[in-house]
């Protein structure tokens, strides 16, 4: 299991490298992954397109890890950051209202 944020340190390639390593080193393995890896958070677009050509790739919604274990208590803050980065102004405003001190 891997998730977003794998590239937080200098020299780390991120989720796309995990997927590339699987396809390069274990072409016979069946790969199960979240369909939400297409989100902008992951930057895995090119390798996901490659995976679509393989018959042994299975996507399942229940495989998505919605909350980072690094910030389990700050789920709404992570959501707010994603909404801001994705330019979802109205959604970000609503989320900010939920977490801002009143």
Residues 25-42: tens digit of each pLDDT: 988 898 888 777 766 666
Instruction: Report pLDDT digits (tens) over 59-72.
Output: 888 877 766 555 55
Q: How many domains does the chain have?
A: 2
Which residue segment(s) compose the domain that 37 sits in?
1-66
What's residue 93's pLDDT?
A: 95
pTM of the model: 0.52
pLDDT band of 86, cuts 50, 70, 90: very high
Whether 46 and 58 map to the same domain: the answer is yes
What's residue 53's pLDDT?
A: 79
CB 14 within 8 A of CB 44: yes
Helices (H) and strands (E) in the chain, counts: 4, 2
Helix (H) or strand (E) holding 32: strand 31-33
pLDDT at 94 over 60: yes
Handedness of CA 92, 95, 97, 99 (dihedral sign): negative
Q: 52: how many CB neighbours lie within 10 A of its CB?
A: 8
Whether 2 and 36 map to the same domain: the answer is yes
């Amino acid at each position: 299991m891997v998730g977003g944020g794998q590239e937080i340190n200098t020299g780390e390639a991120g989720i796309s490298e995990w997927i590339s390593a699987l396809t390069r080193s274990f072409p016979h393995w069946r790969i199960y992954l979240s369909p939400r890896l297409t989100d902008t958070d992951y930057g895995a677009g090119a390798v996901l397109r490659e995976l679509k050509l393989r018959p042994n790739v299975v996507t399942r919604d229940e495989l998505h890890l919605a909350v980072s274990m690094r910030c389990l208590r700050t789920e709404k803050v992570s959501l707010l950051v994603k909404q801001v980065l994705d330019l979802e102004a109205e959604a970000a405003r609503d989320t900010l209202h939920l977490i801002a001190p009143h």
